[in-house]
Chains A and B, each alone.
Chain A
């Protein structure tokens, strides 16, 4: 790691950043892009093989990977205990499943909230309790425009992502005295293995993405937004819900 603080406000040199869900999609690309901006990464995911693949793809030295299932309390505790003090966290781990409400059992709601809402919040709690987030640090949650759009058969997914908005705003107030910033990025349709999974399940994702003036996004589009929120360039920005969706929601009355 290059420890010299950079005069470039977008550089992540000298920053240690934890990325969850780093084995694929947005998490993987965020880890790769952060390393290219000079950060030292701590990456985590469930799948050890794919996690090793991401670790191998990181530019620079001194990165670390810890396999963890973030829905298990003991894994959260172990991850937080092993982590060196962090300057940034990107909560990119998440799941999506299409189930209409009339068919959604409690287990479905439990599963979506366990992965998308409780895991990032409880990991943040463990890290704050163990004083693993440095003063001036930046916490980024990856939400989704589904939080406001509510696509078909996505009640549990949309609710679990929408919950991050309120939680992020409250958390942002709690840690502001330590100058820790907390923000949400809300992506639209991004070409990831998660989206491919939905396409296999019968959703025509290309048609949906085609509604956006700029079409489908790529993982690096979200990764670059995360870099802005992690870097000192955004030192005055907190409790922000930032939409990165190629304009998908621009013709929708999602705030009306």
Chain B
């Protein structure tokens, strides 16, 4: 960014902001951490795989970043994380997991896992951070959702239900925190090939998805750019809503 700094460019900068990213050891979380750091943010990266978290940390441009190992489904780890982090201007909940099951075959074990990873963990980490007064006024919170929060897909119910549930949290939290000018929004990408979709980028499910996306599948960079807009002061009047990104996907 060699262009002169003016009010508009300043609004899209993350200089001077400290941002916590969960699920930072791979996929969308990793790219959001890297792209945000490139835009000037100080990153607190958290994940549960020490080697991969270290790899993300090593890839962060700039100075002053932190990494904190934590298992998001552990209440003790969430409490320790909330205690350890500095004051935050941004929070991006990226940790998540996809498991498929038609409702007729759904087990309580699978549903409980989906609930704990995709819903309980981000909601209760948010609670802990507010309780510890770690979200600064004017801060921005982002929940990584999915187009499955808005549409119906066979066998995606357990995941879809939890992402839809977060829509309710986003709206109510936006109402609660408006007085502190803290913003709460979601990003709902359709298919972005990440490790969550498996190692084989030419797998049959991914090929089928490519066929229904006229602009192709998304990249982690596309999602990171949406996160940058929602973290930056450029979006200071955007709250309680969701940015849907789907490459013009058609059925």
Contacts and interface: CB of A to CB of B under 8 A. Distances in A.
A54 to B, nearest CB: 15
B207 interface: no
Nearest to B1: A8
Interface of A: 2, 6, 8-11, 13, 32-33, 36-38, 59, 172-173, 176-177, 179, 181, 212-214, 217-218, 220-221, 223-225, 227-228, 233-240, 242-247, 249-251
A111 B116 CA distance: 54
A227 B7 CA distance: 13
A78 B179 CA distance: 49
A221 B236 contact: yes
B91 interface: no
B124 interface: no
B133 interface: no
B245 A247 contact: no
Interface in B233-251: 234-241, 243-248, 250
A250 B240 contact: yes
Given A214-B178, A233-B228, 7 more contacts: A173-B250, A213-B240, A224-B12, A236-B215, A237-B245, A240-B245, A242-B243
Interface in B175-213: 175, 177-179, 181, 183
A56 to B, nearest CB: 16
Nearest to B192: A236
Contact of B240 (A38, A238, A239, A247): A247
Interface of B: 1, 3, 6-9, 11-12, 171, 174-175, 177-179, 181, 183, 214-216, 218-219, 221-222, 225-226, 228-229, 234-241, 243-248, 250
A48 B99 CA distance: 59
Contacts of B179: 213
A234 B225 contact: yes
A233 B215 CA distance: 14
Nearest to B250: A173
A135 to B, nearest CB: 12
A40 to B, nearest CB: 14
Nearest to A38: B3
Contacts of B221: 9
Contacts of A173: 248, 250
B6 A59 contact: yes
6 contacts: A179-B215, A213-B178, A221-B238, A237-B244, A246-B239, A250-B174
Given A38-B3, A224-B235, A9 B225 contact: yes
A114 to B, nearest CB: 30
Contact of B248 (A225, A239, A245, A251): A239
B225 A214 contact: no
Contact of A225 (B175, B214, B228, B235): B235
Nearest to A228: B229
A179 B219 CA distance: 16
Given A9-B225, A247-B175, A214 B234 contact: no
